[in-house]
Every structure is written in C-alpha cells, then in structure tokens.
Amino acid sequence: MKPDLFEAPDYYNLDELLSEEHKLVRDAAREWVKRDVSPIIEEAAQKAEFPKSIIGGLAEIGAFGPYIPEEYGGAGLDQISYGLIMQEIERGDSGVRSTASVQSSLVMYPIWKYGNEEQRQKYLPKLASGEWIGSFGLTEPDHGSNPGGMTTNFKDMGDHYLLNGAKMWISNAPFCQIAVVWAKDENGRIHGLIVERGMEGFSTPETHNKWSLRASATGELIFDNVKVPKENLLPNKSGLGAPLGCLDSARFGIAWGAIGAAMDCYDTALRYSKERIQFGKPIGQFQLQQKKLAEMITEITKAQLLAWRLGVMRENGTATSAQISMAKRNNVDMAINIAREARQMLGGMGITGEYSIMRHSMNLESVITYEGTHDIHLLITGLDVTGLNAFK
Ligand code: TGC
Ligand code: FAD
C-alpha cells in the first residue's frame, strides 16, 4: 500500500469551531492512525482478520469509552471529541471504527447508563483499557430492521436466568469476552443481559466470506440453555427503547466516522488527479474530474457542518433520535457516493489495494446497512415530519 500522505480537507475552516482540547484529541487519533493503522490495515482486510495488535492503541487514544467518566476508566471527553475520534479512526478503516463504536456505545454505554454500580465497577475499566472486548447482540436471523420482534428469551429459574436464542451479524463476536444481549422475559419485555465467554451453552461462530468490513470480525451469538447469573441483568432500563438508546450514541459516532472515510477518498483522488497525466495534462485539469472533486468537497463540508451541529446538540442534551438518524443517513450516503466517484478517478489503480478507496467503498456497504439501513432512517425522518408511522 502507498505511504499515508493524508491531509484533512477543511474548506470552511471548521477548526475554528473546535476547542484546543478537541484539536489535541483529534490530532492524537490522526497521528496514531497514520502510524499504527495505515501500514497494516490493507493486509488485515485482505486476510479478513481483525488486527488485534491495535487494541492497546485504540485504548490509548481514548477510543474505548471517550465520553464515559474517568472514574470508570473512560476518557471523560465531550461528544464532539467522541465524534472526532470516530472520524479519524474511520479515515483509517470502517472496521476498526466498528470495533471502537461497539465497545463504546453499545457495550460500555448500556453498562454505564442501565447497569448498577457493581456492574460499572466490574466491567467498565477492563473495557476501557481493551483488556476485555465486548459485543452487542440485538439483530437476529429473522429480525433485523424490526428488532422488536426478537425471539431470544430468558426464563427466571429462581437463582439464575436461562437464556435461549441466537443473534446474527454481531461485530466483535468471535473474540469478545462479554456480550450485551437483548432478550425477552416471560412477559415479552426486552432486557439487557451481560453474557460472559465461558458460560456453558454460549458460542460465537465467525461469519466468513464477507466482501465488506473484512478487517472487522463478525459472528453469531448462540445461547443454548445458558445459565446467566441474576446479577448480570441490566436493572435500570428495559423495553426496546433501551437498545435503541444505545443506537443513538453509535449512530452519532457513525455520522462522524463516515466523514473520515469520505475525506480519505477525496484526499487520495485529489492527489492522484494532480499526478496522473493523460493526454499530456494532469487529469485534474479536465472539467469532468474537477466536477467530481468540487462536488466531493461540497458534500464533505455539508456533512462536517451537520455532524458538528449535532455534536453541540448531543452535548447539551437536545439532539433527538430523528436528528441523529438524519445525520447517519446523510453522511454515510455522502461517503459511499464519494468513494464510488473517487474510485473511478483512479481508473484501474482504483480497484487495487495500493490505495484505500476500494476498501472504504466496500466497507461503507456495511455501514449503510448496520445501525439501521438507509431506508429505515428515511422512514424515521418521514415519521418525524409527518407524524405518520410507516412501521405500524
Ligand atoms: P417503536 O415502537 O418506534 O419504539 C419502541 C420504543 O423505543 C423508543 N424509541 C427509542 N428510544 C431511544 N432511542 C431511539 N432511537 C428510539 N426509537 C424509538 C420508542 O419511544 C418506544 O418507547 P416506548 O417507551 O413507547 O415503548 O419501535 P418499532 O418496533 O416500531 O421500531 C422502530 C424502528 C424501525 C425505527 C427501530 O426498531 C429501528 O431503529 N430499527 C433498525 C434496527 C437497527 O438499527 N439495528 C441495529 C443493530 S446494532 C448494529 O447494527 C451494530 S453495528 C455496529 C458496528 O459494527 O459499528
Ligand atoms: P432486513 O431488515 O431484512 O432488511 C432488508 C431490506 O428491507 C433493507 O433494504 C431494509 O431497508 C428493507 N426494509 C426492512 N423493513 C422495511 C420497511 N419497514 N420499509 C421499507 N424497507 C424496509 N447487529 C447487531 O445487533 N450487532 C452488531 O454488532 C451488528 N454488526 C453488524 C456488522 C455487519 C458487518 C453487518 C452487515 C450488520 C451488523 N448488524 C449488527 C446487523 C445490522 O444492524 C442489520 O443487518 C440491519 O439492521 C438490517 O437488518 P437485516 O440485515 O436483517 O435486513
């Protein structure tokens, strides 16, 4: 793979909207990605392996629990810092950002928000340091966009719960130490349970042959009469709103992360357009190539503004779930379109692993699908503006 020469586009001087701390956090993550992710990520993706060697680095840049309080091992940062870290990591690879998103927003967040003090003390510091990696089990083979229909269930056996069912498409599953699993009780009410590797009847087979997110490990979570201790139930929130609350945090991170992937594709295509000569000129001199670049930087700038404003609202507690959906949908769509255009600008070279664009392009096919598909987010916006529910 080519050396990482990335220079971040900032067409509207958005750095002026950031605090000194934001810039320090962002720059530390950016440097780490250049030094520790870019040199190894192409090979990891080609081999379809999650590069476990980077777990310690992810913890060091604060990517595991950026906004979780320091007393639990988190970085104690604000929402914009969290977004900037996700942007920089996904600039390297969406699969690496997935691992960080799941750990932070889908495992640490529910334990912090819905767990009790013993659970916070037991799990959060180990997750923040990367000693333990977690996964989040919501999706099932027959219930993806409609998680409320889940059939995974548990029964109260007096001194423990008995968990049965299966989750599918679970990031980090093959090597997670714990899984936050959403399951129905005997009354059909959804609860979160912390399932630990080693519990009898719990297995995590890997999903192979993915063409997307190859540097992220995906798998199933299978529960065959798993005895879960009663103290592993998250006591402070139940119902579908509990997992959906975690998704608000993860979707927010993705809205920022997708900008990173788009920036990397744009920056690569811009540089290539000045170096590649055809018909005696750099291809960047042709109007058709300039149109692509001009549209890319316009869309990136709009997405940056959307993410920044959402970050401010998220920080002051006013961002709605529908506003988060809009940003996730818009920014991932923006990134996938830019990846496609940028790939074409590199001609044949664009399909090789010499450049990052094709990997981003394939990764973004997962990003536009998980955490709510493109169409589901459109329907969430539709519901919000009309008051009419397309899901019922
Ligand atoms: P609905 O009846 O609308 O809502 C049920 C209850 O939930 C509340 N609620 C929310 N609460 C918090 N945050 C949100 N975003 C919420 N959205 C809804 C709602 O108020 C209600 O509460 P209550 O108290 O009245 O019961 O639910 P529905 O069954 O009609 O479904 C709505 C729908 C389709 C929007 C939702 O289910 C959905 O978002 N579907 C998409 C599924 C999804 O995003 N799955 C993601 C799985 S995890 C994943 O992909 C991780 S990938 C990570 C990585 O690798 O980076
Ligand atoms: P389906 O729900 O079957 O949807 C198929 C199509 O139908 C989509 O185009 C969808 O938009 C459309 N559709 C569905 N309902 C409607 C409707 N009402 N109106 C219009 N169109 C509709 N899940 C987890 O729980 N944890 C994870 O860690 C996780 N990681 C993932 C990692 C990867 C790489 C991938 C690919 C997925 C992951 N997921 C995870 C699952 C992901 O959230 C689901 O794939 C996603 O929510 C869509 O569900 P589905 O694949 O079952 O598609």
pLDDT digits (tens, 9 = 90+) for 184-235: 999 999 999 999 999 999 999 999 999 999 999 999 999 999 999 999 999 9
State whether the beta carbon of 145 lies less than 6 angstroms from ligand 1: yes
Active site residue 371: yes
Fold of the 134-238 domain: Butyryl-CoA Dehydrogenase, subunit A; domain 2 (2.40.110)
State whether the beta carbon of 144 lies less than 6 angstroms from ligand 2: yes
The residue whose CA is least distant from atom 43 of ligand 1 is: 372
**Residue pair 249/100 in contact by the 8 Å Cβ criterion:** no
Fold of the 241-386 domain: Butyryl-CoA Dehydrogenase, subunit A; domain 3 (1.20.140)
State whether the beta carbon of 153 lies less than 6 angstroms from ligand 2: no
Burial track 332-366 (b if 16+ CB lie within 10 A, e otherwise): bbbbbbbbebbbebbeeebeeeebbbbbbbbbbbb
| Cα atoms in the 13 Å half-sphere on the side-chain side of 259 | 28
Q: How far apart are CA 70 and CA 128, in angstroms?
A: 10
State whether the beta carbon of 373 lies less than 6 angstroms from ligand 2: yes
The residue whose CA is least distant from atom 45 of ligand 2 is: 370
CB atoms within 10 A of CB 387: 7
Rg of the Cα atoms in the chain: 21
What are the extents of the domains in the chain? Answer: 14-129, 134-238, 241-386
pTM, to two decimals: 0.98
Measured in angstroms, how far is the CA atom of residue 241 from the centroid of ligand 1? 6
CA 23 to chain centre: 21
Note the pLDDT of residue 161: 98
Q: Which residues contact 304 (CB under 8 A, 6 or more apart)?
A: 10, 12, 14, 259
Q: How far apart are CA 293 and CA 262, in angstroms?
A: 12
Judging by beta carbons within 10 Å of its beta carbon (0-12, 13-18, 19+), is residue 244 exposed, middle or buried? middle
Beta strands 160-171 and 218-229: pairing type? Answer: antiparallel
The residue whose CA is least distant from atom 9 of ligand 1 is: 241
pLDDT (tens digit per residue) in 325-381: 999 999 999 999 999 999 999 999 999 999 999 999 999 999 999 999 999 999 999
For 14-129, CATH gives 1.10.540.10
pLDDT (tens digit per residue) in 265-280: 999 999 999 999 999 9
**Residue pair 133/172 in contact by the 8 Å Cβ criterion:** yes
